[in-house]
Amino acid sequence: MGQGKTTAIVTGGARGIGAAIARRLACDGMAVGVVDLTKEACAATVAAITGAGGSAVAVGADVADEAAVARAVGTVTEVLGPPTVLVNNAGIIRDNLLFKMDVADWDAVVAVHLRGAFLMSKAVQGHMVDARFGRIVNLSSTSALGNRGQANYAAAKAGLQGFTKTLAIELGRYGVTVNAIAPGFIETDMTAATAERMGVDFDELKKLAVERIPVGRAGQPEDIAHAAAFLASPGAGFVSGQVIYVAGGPAA
């Protein structure tokens, strides 16, 4: 069991934004359950945390699978202690224009983002209510405002914002805050894969993106991790139901 540390769960923690958040929460003294599709995929993130003296466990789970979520939360609870911080970061993209998008691609994206966040939040909220303390951070996106070729992803990310605000209302009386982060252009494997699917050179895509970002640079996973660390902290107890756009400028 954990030794009195706050226990956090970060989904999609194997790489990119999720890995950066997991590492940052560990640096802040939390024990971290790193969840991704396979336990093996989480190994590098866990090694980085434990190598720096932190506590972490790798857990393989499909967040859209109710039984898998229950097992994952059970494992984290047994190994590290009851989780009172949850970062719903797991996500996939299946981009296409509406007339080309098939039902399977719609369902897959909505399942991971929305159903996954619902199942994970439902599975951990009891621990938070018992502790009279909890922090849920959902990863939305600037695509929630609309983005060509991403009807499924945009709808899921906008849905997460409504989900966030509703949970903030329901859980606030128990000392649980619920917020969302909406990243802009962040340099990750996912954005590189998007460029490849578009048939665009990633450096060129990044250059075009940076030209539209007021601070004049692309975002890094650590930029999102900093925001998540604040929202997950005890000091953020009067911030709830908010969507924070971390995009280098106004998002809308």
Active site residue 174: no
The answer to whether the beta carbons of residues 61 and 41 sit under 8 Å apart is no
Q: How far apart (Å, rounded) are the C-alpha atoms in residues 214 and 30?
A: 34
Q: Comparing C-alpha atoms, which of 121, 138, 154 is closest to residue 228?
A: 138
| Crossing angle of the two packed helices 202-211 and 189-198, in degrees rounded to 10 | 100
Choose, from 12, 125, 141, 153, the residue flagged as catalytic.
Answer: 153
The per-residue DSSP string of 180-212 comes to EEEE-SB-SHHHHHHHHHHT--HHHHHHHHHHT
C-alpha angle with apex 206: 204 to 211, nearest 5 degrees?
Answer: 100
C-alpha angle with apex 204: 203 to 210, nearest 5 degrees?
Answer: 85
- CA contacts within 13 A on the Cβ side of 140: 30
Helix (H, G, I), strand (E, B) or coil at 177: strand
Those residues whose C-beta lies under 8 Å from the C-beta of residue 238, and which sit 6 or more positions away, are none
The answer to whether the beta carbons of residues 16 and 188 sit under 8 Å apart is yes
The answer to whether the beta carbons of residues 176 and 133 sit under 8 Å apart is yes
User: Which residues are annotated as catalytic?
Assistant: 153
